[in-house]
Structure 1
Amino acid sequence: MSTVQEHLAIGPASHGMRMTLEQFDAPGDWDELYVYELVNGVLIVNPPPSEAERGPNELLGRMLWTYHERHPERSTFNYTLSEHTVNTPNNRRRADRVVWTGLDRMPNVRRDLPTIVIEFVSPDRRDHERDYVEKRSEYGSIGIREYWIIDRFRRQMTVVRWDEDDCQEMTMSETDVYTTPLLPGFELPLASLLAEADMLMRDTSNEE
């Protein structure tokens, strides 16, 4: 297995490279067309999210900002980012979207732990295991308050909530509207996100 010292540029050929957390965090020549994670000291290189993942993710971002602008008196929302690296003690996980709430200030996005982490499940079986099992365990251990897993294949959203030592899991169906005490007044109609993914899937299929 190769090491990072042997490569000046990091890209698809670097998949499987051994790397330390310090090396991953350091500035470098990374091919920005790809997505990177560090898992148990091994660099994972993934292709960029598909249109059917990016579209619903962008829609969710717009929903969050619209909620904040329309309900400033109730909003605890501080900021949101897509494609954000979440630091865990041993790994560097790439989240599809993160949300900061309850800080009463602009978060330091490199240092402040997100309140909510969101994943849009991709079709690869390995990614299902990663999203539903591995990341759930890691996020709970570092103090994430909620973890949303939006699964367009199962037409559902799984929400994991941590409150001190308590962990609760709930599954929302396609017709459900999700609300959370972390974002008072915010409503997330899962059907809207799934419809966005469906539309993009049809568009890409018609072009093939």
Structure 2
Amino acid sequence: MTQGSTTTTTPHRSVREPATARPIARRKYDDRYGPGSAGLRMKPEEFDDIPASEFVRGNRYEVISGVFVVSPFPGPGERSLNDYLGYMLTQYFETPSKKPIVADTLPEQTIATTNRRRADRAIWVGLGRKPDEQTDVPAIVIEFVSSRRRDALRDYEEKREEYLTAGVKEYWIIDRFRRVMTVYKTKKTRKSSTTTYDIVTEGQSYETPLLPGFSLPLARLLEKADQWRPRKQAEPNAPAGGTDG
């Protein structure tokens, strides 16, 4: 497992606002917010006040730099990773000998930063009670890297800064394409903050003091995503088989 650190004394850098943002207007589909609402100007607090029933199901909704963002749900490869990790965590939480703390996890969780990010998974630990998913900052936030380069850059750069600044203790980035998991943590002092990171390779497991007794074997997790890789069509004079990323 590779370790590293960076130190910064600069304030939180906001995400650059898209130049194509539309004036605020209530564009809705069937009296609900959906793909046609993408690009609306919206404050995070306005987003918080929208009832769940007013969103068209089947999409992910966020507010980034004052803009309402709509994106499709992840594909089966990413969902299989998330589902299996949720299964492993549930087993851990329900084992009395490995549960000295009250903990819980949810997929597709909105994280309140300066924006409203939709994280792939959140884990709450150490609260001594059932978490309030709307107000309690998760101890751990997890993102599964998408095949789209733009989304991958957000996972590694923009979201990392936002989550750690919001109070998240560990940020896990699970990259099924590079076959690694990167864990970011922040240590703060009065004058500066130091961000450290661990890189977990496919043959390794990750353990954290936030989840005593829990071990995450990365290879086992990646196997679940591999089962959903589409097969490439065989080219003439080429051996059959093969997969894409």
Same fold (TM > 0.5): yes
Structure 1, gaps ≥5 residues long: none
Q: What is the rounded CA distance, in whole Å, between the counterparts of 2:98 and 2:180 in structure 1?
A: 31
| Aligned pairs for 1:2-81 within 5 A | 2-7=23-28, 8-28=31-51, 29-72=54-97, 74-81=99-106
Give aligned pairs, total: 205
Structure 2, gaps ≥5 residues long: 1-21, 234-242
- What is residue 200 of structure 1 aligned with on the other side? 228
Residue 136 to residue 110, structure 1, CA distance change in 2 (3 Å): same
| Aligned pairs for 1:76-95 within 5 A | 76-88=101-113, 90-95=114-119
- What is residue 171 of structure 1 aligned with on the other side? 199
Residue 179 to residue 71, structure 1, CA distance change in 2 (3 Å): farther
Deviation at 1:202, TM superposition (A): 4.4
Match of 2:130 among 97, 100, 106: 106
- What is residue 173 of structure 2 aligned with on the other side? 149
Percentage of matched positions with identical amino acids? 45
Q: Is the 8 A contact 2:98 2:214 kept in 1?
A: no
Q: Is the 8 A contact 1:114 1:144 kept in 2?
A: yes
Deviation at 1:163, TM superposition (A): 3.1
- Give 3-state SS (helix, strand or coil) of 1:193's partner: helix
Deviation at 1:5, TM superposition (A): 2.8
Q: Is the 8 A contact 1:85 1:94 kept in 2?
A: yes
1:3 counterpart letter in structure 2? I
User: Which structure's CA Rg is the greater one?
Assistant: 2
Deviation at 1:32, TM superposition (A): 1.5
Q: What is the rounded CA distance, in whole Å, between the counterparts of 2:165 and 2:73 in structure 1?
A: 27
Q: Deviation per CA, 1:38-58: give whole Å up to 9, x if none.
A: 100011111011110111101
2:45 counterpart letter in structure 1? E
Deviation at 1:103, TM superposition (A): 1.1
Q: What is the rounded CA distance, in whole Å, between the counterparts of 1:32 and 1:131 in structure 2?
A: 24
Q: Is the 8 A contact 1:19 1:41 kept in 2?
A: yes
Greater relative contact order: 1 or 2 (C-alpha under 8 angstroms, separation 6 or more)?
A: 2
Q: What is the rounded CA distance, in whole Å, between the counterparts of 2:80 and 2:26 in structure 1?
A: 37
Q: Is the 8 A contact 1:75 1:185 kept in 2?
A: no
Q: Is the 8 A contact 2:172 2:182 kept in 1?
A: yes
